[in-house]
Amino acid sequence: MIEFYKQILENNKKWVENSLAKDPNYFADLAKGQTPPLLWIGCSDSRVPANEIIGAKPGEVFVHRNIANMVVHSDMNMLSVLDYAVNVLKVKHVIVCGHYGCGGVKAAMGNQSVGIIDNWLRHIKDEYRLHDKYLNSIQDEDARFNAFVEINAKEQVYNLAKTSIVQGAWKNGQDLMLHGWVYGLNSGFVTDLNVTISSNEELDQVYQLDL
């Protein structure tokens, strides 16, 4: 344990040295502020690093991560990140990126209790209930799992669009597009789920806020 801890401190020093060797002003420039064009909402899974997946540098992606890349309307952590990204940083794009093989989605498909996370997974179970006819029609278990990963990511894009934060930005004429992706752990490629929303007119009328 101690050796691992010492090693990551050493890795930091090497990273700083390498970064400064390439650009002596690297950290001085970063410290001046951030203007990322993108907010990434992804899973906490350690195998899904937002910056590396899209080849972005520090300062180019604002990131929020949680179990199964969820957008929960009562989650003040996520809403605070979203509000800052949209209203202060003025990001142009928000990407919800799920990933195949997601443990949170898999757990939500079963009935075994895994602890306090059961309460979080309930949100995902609600989505399964909404799409159960389609999902239960898929006989192959792996294919059904992958389909639910995709559905979950799509649903979170719609959940974003339903927030007063996003709808307020659209009302004010702000350019803001929401996208849904899924990342392949075994390939490295992302799949665009073709769910892109840029106005609340694409939502059911009951969700269109009169701001």
Active site residue 45: yes
Active site residue 43: yes
Q: Of 64, 97, 99, 179, which is the active-site residue? A: 99
Gap between the Cα atoms of 135 and 145, Å rounded: 9
Please report the sign of the dihedral spanned by the C-alpha atoms of residue 198, residue 96, residue 158, residue 75. negative
Active site residue 99: yes
Instruction: Give the type of residue at 77.
Output: N
Q: Of 43, 64, 123, 179, which is the active-site residue? A: 43
- Report yes or no: 104 and 43 within 8 Å, Cβ to Cβ: yes
Q: How many residues does the chain have?
A: 211
Active site residue 47: yes
Q: Is 43 annotated as a binding residue?
A: yes
Gap between the Cα atoms of 86 and 82, Å rounded: 6
Using CA atoms, how far residue 189 sits from 54, 104, 186, 196, in Å, is 9, 20, 8, 19
Active site residue 118: no
Q: Of 45, 64, 97, 123, which is the active-site residue? A: 45
Q: Is 97 annotated as a binding residue?
A: no
Using CA atoms, how far residue 89 sits from 34, 47, 84, 93, 117, in Å, is 8, 27, 6, 11, 31
Q: Of 64, 97, 102, 179, which is the active-site residue? A: 102
Per the annotation, binding residues for Zn(2+) are 43, 45, 99, 102
Active site residues: 43, 45, 47, 99, 102
Per the annotation, binding residues are 43, 45, 99, 102
